[in-house]
Structure 1
Amino acid sequence: MIKPFSVRYGHVNVREYFQLNDLNSDTRIALWNCLYLFFWTNNHQTGVATKCAQSVWIYYLNQPADNIPRYDGGYKGDKTLLSAIRGYIYGEEWYLVYDSIEFIIDRTNSYIDLSKHLNSVFRKYGVGYTLINGCITPISNEDEIESVQNAVDNDTDSSRSHFERALQLMTDREQPDYRNSIKESISAIESLCRKITGNDKGTLGACLKTLEEKGYIHSAMKGAFSQLYGYTSDQCGIRHALTEEDVNPTLAEAKFMFVTCSAFSNYLLAKISD
């Protein structure tokens, strides 16, 4: 999305426009409006929204199951399920708001459509995150988003599960595990290369050599990914036991590996389909 006029021409501080560790009031209102208009209202008659709201009340807000308020409506100021959820989105810390959104999406039957609408809000208000496969992910570049989404949607079953796990480990806000996220990303490529070459027990290096011989990848590309594979073996004990000298990888490294591996996966699938 193109930045607004006010940001492009310096009338609004760019740091204020892009939200990474905060949510301003306008964004919170927009997120609530999105949920209310596209989910709570549209799915109320089917019962899906009501059951979801009740789950938020009981399992997320940890409120008494025998004291569930009415879904919505009544006099202004009456406590309802939706007013409780709205109050949470308006008033809680930004990361807890994201937790609640993920909880809601996980309990909907159409989270992909809802994610699409929420991502539009993220783009409009400069939120530096994107909903991918139900996880709020620190990726906002459109090309990166498309690459990651395609990999999660279109890969083989085994490599897709590795990418999904890498995404979950990277986006866990309580205990992010960047080391194992990197491991899962490279494992997704290894799994895909084994599938393409038919070598179920081959190392990534051996499979890349086969792909080069078949003309799927250039020798320079094979060399680049072989070195990247070597990085996961040597750096930070990512694929081996930790030592006292090892340094924990960061979000930047986990994100780089996730995006790079997803792009390479998409490239391989496109080449073998030609």
Structure 2
Amino acid sequence: MDKLFSERYGYVVKQVQFESLDRTTRSFLWEQVYFSYIKTLEFGLGQGLSDFKMYSEAKNFILNIDREIFKKTSLEAPEKLGNILASCENMFMNGAWYMPFDLIEYLLKTSYILFSVEEQNAFVIKQVSEALNQVLESRKAMYRLVSSLVVPITNGEELATISSTLDETESIKTVQGHIIKALKHLSDRADPDYHNSIKESVSALEALLRLIASKPHATLSDAMREIKKKGVISLNIHLENTIKSLYQWTSDEGAIRHADKGDSSVIDIDDAKFTLITCCSLVNYLTAKSTKAGINLS
């Protein structure tokens, strides 16, 4: 939507939100969470004996929210389970800036319990993630949802690259697993691990090259030599050197890949994001090349 009068003429200025969420943003995010999940839980609680299975699923799901989000045991649960849902809204609107993200991640990751049909669950997660990302973008929040994780990446093209990699490697679990681990290390609010995020990003690329070369234990450099020798796919010499240089940088710079070398430089979020996006782009490119060459990567 285009800017309104007050924004166009500077009477209202949206502030970039990093490690913060204003009340309007929280309200719009809660709206999506409520209609996608909370309303379903409220309906389940209301079934009682008329649909005991639905009631039990809603009850257990809510108790797990109480345990995982509010850190309470079942012995501490209120008599009215609806109070836990009310606490969710209160926490969402008034808690620390990161608490809404905790709840969002939890709901997306456990969504399959409420939506047991796999296709339905995948549809709900996709729709909710897109809606939440639209809110975050419009409110200038410096976070986005990728693979049910809230990550500090906002560039649309970068998000599309990562999403494409996750889709393309759905049948290549060794590669996809490294990308997901890289995202988790990057998105850990309490203790982000940029070194291991970089390591996992490069490991994803290395795992793919091993598959292309049919050398399960080769290093990245050895796999590339084997690919060149066999001629299974054609790699431009400059691209080949770029990949090798990236591998060399992550092997040497600040002991990214080898912790026993000591930390000689500061690795930060920009290094981790750069490596993740670059490796995802290369994975997408090499996967497409392999498909055209008739190489089975599954």
- TM, length-normalised to structure 2: 0.80
The 1:123–1:219 alpha-carbon spacing in structure 2 relative to 1, beyond 3 Å, is: same
2:190 to 174, 178, 202: 174
Cα distance in structure 2, aligned partners of 1:186 and 1:60: 33
Richer in helix (by share): 2
Q: Is the 8 A contact 1:39 1:49 kept in 2?
A: no
Determine if the alignment matches structure 1 residue 145 to structure 2 residue 163.
Answer: no
Q: Is the 8 A contact 2:210 2:216 kept in 1?
A: yes
- Residue 66 of structure 2 is matched in structure 1 by 57
What is the CA-CA distance between 1:196 and the residue it aligns to? 1.1
Determine if the alignment matches structure 1 residue 232 to structure 2 residue 241.
Answer: no
- Residue 247 of structure 1 is matched in structure 2 by 265
Q: Is the 8 A contact 2:254 2:262 kept in 1?
A: no
What is the CA-CA distance between 1:206 and the residue it aligns to? 2.6
Residue-pair matches, total: 265
Cα RMSD after superposing both structures: 2.4
Cα distance in structure 2, aligned partners of 1:176 and 1:31: 24
3-state DSSP of counterpart to 2:98: helix
What is the CA-CA distance between 1:138 and the residue it aligns to? 0.9
Deviations 1:172-220 (A, max 9, x none): 1111110011011000000001001112222212322444544432111
Cα distance in structure 2, aligned partners of 1:62 and 1:239: 35
2:107 to 104, 121, 126: 104
- Residue 192 of structure 1 is matched in structure 2 by 208
2:20 to 19, 22, 28: 22
The 1:240–1:115 alpha-carbon spacing in structure 2 relative to 1, beyond 3 Å, is: same
Q: Is the 8 A contact 1:209 1:222 kept in 2?
A: no
- Residue 117 of structure 2 is matched in structure 1 by none
The 1:34–1:18 alpha-carbon spacing in structure 2 relative to 1, beyond 3 Å, is: same
Q: Is the 8 A contact 2:153 2:159 kept in 1?
A: yes
1:270 to 288, 292, 298: 288
> Unaligned 5+ residue runs, structure 1?
73-79
Cα distance in structure 2, aligned partners of 1:180 and 1:18: 28
Q: Is the 8 A contact 2:164 2:284 kept in 1?
A: yes
What percent of counterpart residues are identical? Answer: 25
The 1:51–1:122 alpha-carbon spacing in structure 2 relative to 1, beyond 3 Å, is: farther
3-state DSSP of counterpart to 2:150: strand
The 1:57–1:8 alpha-carbon spacing in structure 2 relative to 1, beyond 3 Å, is: same
The 1:146–1:7 alpha-carbon spacing in structure 2 relative to 1, beyond 3 Å, is: farther
The 1:6–1:211 alpha-carbon spacing in structure 2 relative to 1, beyond 3 Å, is: farther
Query: What letter corresponds to residue 70 of structure 1 in structure 2?
Result: K
1:134 to 145, 148, 151: 148
> Unaligned 5+ residue runs, structure 2?
45-53, 113-120, 293-298
The 1:13–1:200 alpha-carbon spacing in structure 2 relative to 1, beyond 3 Å, is: farther
- TM, length-normalised to structure 1: 0.87
Q: Is the 8 A contact 1:57 1:68 kept in 2?
A: no
